[in-house]
Amino acid sequence: MFKAVFLFVFLLSSPGQAEEASQSVIEQSTRALVKKERARAISILSSALLNTKMKASEKKQLVTAVKRASVLFVSDRGQSLFESGRNLYLVNPSEALSKMDAALAIEGENAQVLWAKVKIHFRLSNCEKAKETFEMINPWSQESHFNFLPLYHYCTSKSPAEFEKEGLSPFEKVFFSGVFAYMRGDKKKAFAELEKALGLDREFIETYYWLWKIDEEEYEMALKYRKACDSEKLKLLKKYDEFPQLCQFADQISIEQRKEKD
């Protein structure tokens, strides 16, 4: 009984009571979660959200409940495998992927585990696998990851026809805008946007790589990128956890070749 009450309170979007209709739906979803039936719990909430006559306040309650049900762990074993995979993510992404698959076998549609898998696939440059995994996340929970599409286009090295910036940070907006402009061949816009990105965060090393791509005479930019990736890669990956492909181009920069030119 205590667990059911705890889950019900957890699924509410605020300490106050949900409106009567949404409260009833959340109670049904809670009972499914107690039985570790996440798919059914999410289905109950998602089906209720199809009601076009629902009040905006009720919809907000149910959307929040879906998001919370999506990330809740229903077993200690599943959470343990997830944590183990997350710890391996930076040093051994392939092994981390195996841990996440094992966690999903227990946790089903857990959005935390699925998003972790998305990042691992990006880290391994498995762009389409990342997309397939992301599409497994409940649509209401997908909204929590505004940066998926920019990361996907970055991974494929193809600029999107339209760049959706809603939900991104000011830095992400100008950085991706600059990179996608370069991919389209608009070096002038790319340079202007990436210069803005550099002004917002000088430690995000990927910006230096793209500024060098715009003008390959600016080799100091390339060297800064390569040296930082060689000496601080783990530190940078931890700091920019939501950018899995950081330093992926480091091997393109030859320090020895530069010494020969000098």
pLDDT at 78 over 90: yes
Beta-carbon contacts of residue 10 (< 8 Å; ≥ 6 apart): 68, 72
**Tens digits of per-residue pLDDT, 38-54?**
889 999 998 888 887 88
pLDDT at 69 over 50: yes
Residue with tokens 């051994």: 92
Average pLDDT, the chain: 88
- Residue-wise over 93-102: b if at least 16 C-beta within 10 A, else e? beebbebbeb
User: What is the per-residue pLDDT for 12?
Assistant: 55
State the Cα angle at 113 between 144 and 102, rounded to 5°. 165
Cα separation of 4 and 1, whole Å?
A: 5
User: What is the per-residue pLDDT for 255?
Assistant: 66
Q: Which domains does the chain have, with CATH numbers?
A: 2-71 (no CATH), 76-142 (1.25.40), 148-261 (1.25.40)
pLDDT over 90, % of the chain: 63
Among 13-27, 87-101, 121-135, 244-258, the minimum mean pLDDT is found in 13-27
**Tens digits of per-residue pLDDT, 96-131?**
999 999 999 999 889 999 999 999 999 999 999 999
Average pLDDT over every residue of 67-77: 92
Cα separation of 132 and 137, whole Å?
A: 9
Cα separation of 192 and 144, whole Å?
A: 29
> How far is it between the farthest Cα atoms of the chain?
74
User: What is the per-residue pLDDT for 1?
Assistant: 40
Average pLDDT over every residue of 74-86: 95
**Tens digits of per-residue pLDDT, 172-183?**
999 999 999 999
Written as six digits, the tokens of 103 are: 């966690």
If pLDDT is split at 50, 70 and 90, which confidence band does 19 have? low
Name the phi and psi angles at 164, rounded to 5. Answer: -80, 120
Say which residue, 23 or 152, is predicted with more confidence.
152
If pLDDT is split at 50, 70 and 90, which confidence band does 22 have? confident
If pLDDT is split at 50, 70 and 90, which confidence band does 144 have? confident
How far, rounded to the nearest angstrom, does the alpha carbon of residue 183 sit from its chain's CA centroid?
A: 22
**Tens digits of per-residue pLDDT, 191-216?**
999 999 999 999 999 999 999 999 98
Name the phi and psi angles at 165, rounded to 5. Answer: -105, -5
Residue type, 69: A
Three-class DSSP category at 42: helix
Name the phi and psi angles at 178, rounded to 5. Answer: -65, -45
Cα separation of 48 and 7, whole Å?
A: 19
Cα separation of 52 and 126, whole Å?
A: 38
pTM: 0.86
Cα separation of 118 and 129, whole Å?
A: 8
Written as six digits, the tokens of 244 are: 């899995």
Answer for the pair 90, 234: CB distance below 8 angstroms, yes or no.
Answer: yes
CA-based end-to-end distance of the chain: 74
